[in-house]
Amino acid sequence: MRHFVGFIVGLALAPVLMLGTGWALPRFVGLEERGQSIATVDGAVALGAAGIVGLLVALVLVPPRLTPLLPGIAGLTLIGLTAVQVLRPALVERLPALPGVEGAVTLLSIGAYLPLGLALFVPMLAPSRWAGRERARDVTEEEYFDGLYDEDYEDGQAGGAHRPAARA
């Protein structure tokens, strides 16, 4: 079930990443054109939006218990959209007019989503991301204390004090 949910969320994550970065891009360009720095209110808003997108990517990539399908499908979607931009650019022009689409199309046309897509997709190929963690077996109190001492120690044979000394 977690893989199915990860698949669906991964499909939704790619457009969110594109719209977030696409929304921030024109604001950064506008700051540059006006000669302002990111120390202004407009700059802080754009930097905050870019920071949220970066945090979202980090939260998807880092947790080991998260299904690898979530970042993998999002990355595969970004790679696929980059391929569509290269092979059939007329399809990209048909995207609906949403906030951030213009900046996302600009970033898509320069190939900026390909490295992000690869960074999200490649961890899905690592076998360690698919391996489940072994659950610790519940150990009873008796088994715990039995494992602390050797049988020889319990019999009074351990420690060398009771063993005969070797003669040279």
Radius of gyration of the chain (CA): 28
Residue 148 has a pLDDT of: 64
- Output the CA torsion sign for 23, 29, 31, 36: positive
Report the chain (168 residues): mean pLDDT per 10 consecutive residues.
80 88 87 83 87 88 78 89 87 79 84 88 80 62 67 55 52
Mind listing the pLDDT tens digit for each residue in 105-120? 888 888 888 998 898 8
Quote the CA–CA distance of 75 and 115 in Å, as a whole number.
Answer: 9
Q: What is the pLDDT of residue 76?
A: 92
Give the DSSP letter of residue 126. -
Q: How far apart are CA 106 and CA 95, in angstroms?
A: 13
pLDDT digits (tens, 9 = 90+) for 63-86: 767 788 888 888 999 899 899 888
**What is d(CA 81, CA 108) in angstroms, rounded to the nearest whole number?**
8
Integer angstrom CA distances of residue 91 from 22, 32, 82, 87, 94: 18, 30, 11, 9, 5
| pLDDT of res. 100 | 79
With a CB cutoff of 8 Å and minimum separation 6, the contacts of 48 are none
Per the CB < 8 A criterion, the answer to whether 101 and 38 are in contact is no
How many residues does the structure list for the chain?
168
Q: What global pTM score does this model have?
A: 0.67
Per the listing, tokens 């499909």 go with 11
Among 126, 142, 14, smallest CA distance to 81 is for 14
